[in-house]
Homo-oligomer: A and B are copies of this chain.
Amino acid sequence: MSGVGTEVWGVCLLTLCFASFHVTALKPQLFTIRGGGLPSSSDPPISYKTSYFDQKIDHFGFLEDGTFKQRYLTADQHWQRPGGPILFYTGNEGDVTWFCNNTGFMWEVAEELGAMLVFAEHRYYGESLPFGPDSFSDSKRLNYLTSEQALADFAVLIQSLKKTLPGAERSPVIAVGGSYGGMLSAWFRMKYPNVVVGALAASAPIWQFPGMVPCGDFYKVVTQDFAKSGFNCDTNIRESWKAINNVSSTAPGLQWLSEEFSLCAPLKNKMEVAAFKGWLQETWVNLAMVDYPYPANFLQPLPRWPIQVVCKSLSFDSPVSDYQLLHGVSQAVKVYYNFTGGASCLNTSQTATGSLGVLGWFYQACTEMVMPMCSDGVQDMFEPEEWNFQAFSDECSSMFGVRPRADWAATLYGGKDIASHSNIIFSNGGLDPWSAGGVTQNLSDSLVSIMIPDGAHHLDLRYSNDLDPPSVRAARALEVQYFRQWIRQAEKTR
């Protein structure tokens, strides 16, 4: 990383930043499936209004008094005004239209609750850029990219809507979010219970912070998904790293590897092989996150239960030759990247495309969102890798000129000591690696956990589907029950 330092500004290609993280293996794990989130052709058409709100750039200091345009989407077709509830999506690290299109649950319950829907974009993502195209140009401009500022944006926006939108003044607002957006939902209810009467935090790893859960649990869940999806599937992936090292140690081996995986850019050196392994690792993680029970259309379409399909190419008895093993891996990977057979080659920087979101998330990981991850190659199927905070911090310093504060999130958001809060649903999927950092047991009568054993990453927030397992149907029904309860509570006290 040395030498990238300050020059990274303005010329930093996302792929370069990403690769640099890969090289030192200090990549922050991303929540969003990159490029993902496009609506499926089978999803019902939705209609919303796009608006922009003048939001303070800095809520926590008064010197910077400028504003920026925060984008938000609204849909009031089913809203029973005055006073009908508002479901408010606390946008996460990406274009808010993705989340709007991929949170079918909200669209489906709007009618039965007589609710208005609001999807608010997170600052520094999508179109909500505090300094326009320069928002990422230096650490001074990036300084307002924090979860606290984002929560304040949501709070100020809601208070304004309640004042200005006819019929909204007494509407109870419920926060909804998935993944990092789910963390924001939960934190939003904790910090602004005056603004939202409750929160649904779907697949929200609010405990994936230092000292709260073992750093290896995340990759253990990924491994379990593969272990139960096909004979020897996890074992063969575990063996594949050494096979890659062996094969890539010679020039002909490198060439074979590049051809076997149909890589668009052939591998040339050890650094690129390390990046290639990082790309594979991320592919397995992504598959675990989207291991849905029905075909889903992300960047490219995936079959139902994609890990089972992937594992068909990896279900052989070891030992096999390195070449046989890696042929299986390449077949498996192509399920993810080339299910329809339309890709002429595989681009290992592909996972990093899509939006500024990646750079924004890296900055957040380098400041507040310190989420330790590690692997040991025994309880998981990955190469052993310790969590090295100092190295991570150094990398952040050279990349953004900031250092992460490891304990801040715990102090600010309560860590494991959150039982005094109320009205939060933590839903988690048993297949989702992020469940490792989630709240998977009830903490009180009104801080409840809903487990979806057959669910991947926030399956409950997606459109319902004939192939949905009963567990997610039950989860959604229970979530709506809690919504109704919170709405009744709010009606009593207003």
Tell me the A residues contacting B by CB distance below 8 Å. Answer: 56, 59-63, 65, 139-140, 142-144, 146, 148-149, 152, 155-156, 159, 191-195, 367, 401-403, 405, 407-408, 410-412, 414-415, 417-423, 493
Q: A194-B417, A194-B418 are in contact. Are A60 and B148 (CB under 8 A)?
A: yes
A63 contacts B194, C-beta separation under 8 Å: no
A65 contacts B415, C-beta separation under 8 Å: no
Query: Which residue of chain B is the closest to A65 with respect to CB atoms?
Result: B403
A–B pairs, 11, beta carbons within 8 Å: A59-B408, A60-B149, A62-B139, A152-B412, A155-B411, A156-B411, A191-B191, A192-B411, A193-B414, A194-B414, A194-B415
A146 partner, pick from B56, B60, B403, B421, beta carbons under 8 A: B60
Q: Which 3 pairs from chain A and chain B are nearest by CB?
A: A194-B414, A194-B417, A62-B402
A139 contacts B63, C-beta separation under 8 Å: yes
Among A59, A63, A405, max chain B CB count under 10 A is at A63
Query: Which residue of chain B is the closest to A156 with respect to CB atoms?
Result: B411
Query: Which residue of chain B is the closest to A64 with respect to CB atoms?
Result: B143
Query: Which residue of chain B is the closest to A146 with respect to CB atoms?
Result: B60
Chain B residues in 8 Å Cβ range of A402: 62-63, 65
Q: How many angstroms between the C-alpha atoms of A446 and B393 in the bound complex?
A: 42
Q: Helix, strand, loop or mixed for chain A's interface?
A: loop
A493 contacts B419, C-beta separation under 8 Å: yes
With both chains docked as a complex, state the minimum distance between the C-beta of A419 and any C-beta of chain B, in angstroms: 7
Q: A156-B411, A411-B159, A412-B155 are in contact. Are A61 and B143 (CB under 8 A)?
A: yes
Q: How many angstroms between the C-alpha atoms of A367 and B423 in the bound complex?
A: 32
Q: How many angstroms between the C-alpha atoms of A156 and B423 in the bound complex?
A: 27
A193 partner, pick from B146, B403, B421, beta carbons under 8 A: B421
Q: How many angstroms between the C-alpha atoms of A367 and B62 in the bound complex?
A: 7
Chain B residues in 8 Å Cβ range of A418: 193-194
Chain B residues in 8 Å Cβ range of A411: 152, 155-156, 159, 192, 194-195
Chain B residues in 8 Å Cβ range of A65: 402-403
Q: How many angstroms between the C-alpha atoms of A423 and B67 in the bound complex?
A: 37
Q: A195-B411, A415-B194, A419-B493 are in contact. Are A62 and B143 (CB under 8 A)?
A: yes
Chain B residues in 8 Å Cβ range of A143: 61-63
Q: How many angstroms between the C-alpha atoms of A401 and B62 in the bound complex?
A: 9
Q: How many angstroms between the C-alpha atoms of A420 and B493 in the bound complex?
A: 11
With both chains docked as a complex, state the minimum distance between the C-beta of A184 and any C-beta of chain B, in angstroms: 16
Q: How many angstroms between the C-alpha atoms of A412 and B148 in the bound complex?
A: 11
Q: How many angstroms between the C-alpha atoms of A73 and B411 in the bound complex?
A: 22
Chain B residues in 8 Å Cβ range of A191: 191
A144 contacts B414, C-beta separation under 8 Å: no
A407 contacts B159, C-beta separation under 8 Å: yes
In the complex, given contacts A152-B412, A194-B415, what are 5 additional A-B residue pairs having Cβ atoms less than 8 angstroms apart?
A: A60-B60, A60-B61, A63-B140, A159-B411, A193-B421
Chain B residues in 8 Å Cβ range of A140: 63
Q: A156-B411, A411-B159 are in contact. Are A420 and B193 (CB under 8 A)?
A: yes
